[in-house]
Amino acid sequence: MHKRKRMSPEESRRLAVATARDILREEGAAAVTLKAVAGRMGRTHAALLHHFGSVDGLHAQLADEIAHEVADSIAGSIGRYQAGKVKLRRVVEEMFTAFREQHFGELIAWVVLQRRREALAPVEHAIAGVITKITPPGDDRPLDRATMGLVLVAIGDALVGEEVARACNLPHDVAHEIAVKQILAVLGELR
């Protein structure tokens, strides 16, 4: 008989979030349930319920992890842009890629459609952190508005960007050009 390795509560939570992330990538947000995660981990549903309280707790933890990774990526991209190392289009492309590849847009949409908005608190905190990181002292440009616009466009792109581009008979990367122009207009840099 094979014995399961005993894990600390923290190790078990980390493994559960990593497993949930795998399921999110492979099957989508709707498939991220306590039962599915527990089954893949070889644990019981009750054990995960003990660690997270509910599927909402698991989704919140998953959103927190992804939000911080995406926020760090965005802040890094914007930092490189501010230092003159990359063009704004590259920042937009990196953000859109992060939202799409991490299934972040889908996770946000799923949580909202399930009417569990409280699970989005980590996303709110991560976005607020990005704005704080990218706003140098004395900078009065509306970076908060530019960030809001970019995040909303990135979420939409992650959800239906390919399909809308196809419907408009345009290449998908046209969305990047539109986002860049909108951000520059918000920042007052288009004259």
Asked if residue 132 has pLDDT above 70, the reply is: yes
The topology (CATH level 3) of 1-53 is Arc Repressor Mutant, subunit A (1.10.10)
Q: pLDDT-derived band of residue 5, with 50, 70 and 90 as boundaries?
A: low
**pLDDT tens figures, 22-76:** 998 899 888 999 999 999 998 888 888 888 888 888 888 888 888 888 888 877 8
Give residue limits of the domains in the chain. 1-53, 65-186
Cβ 121 vs Cβ 60: under 8 Å: yes
Above 60 in pLDDT, residue 19? yes
Quickly state the pLDDT bin for 3 (edges 50, 70, 90).
low
User: What's the average model confidence in pLDDT over 185-191?
Assistant: 66
Output the CA–CA distances (angstroms, integers) from residue 40 to 1, 31, 168, 183, in the order listed. 19, 12, 40, 42
Name the least confident of 3-12, 74-83, 89-98.
3-12
CA angle 101–176–149, rounded 5-degree value: 90
pLDDT band at 15 (very low <50, low <70, confident <90, very high): very high
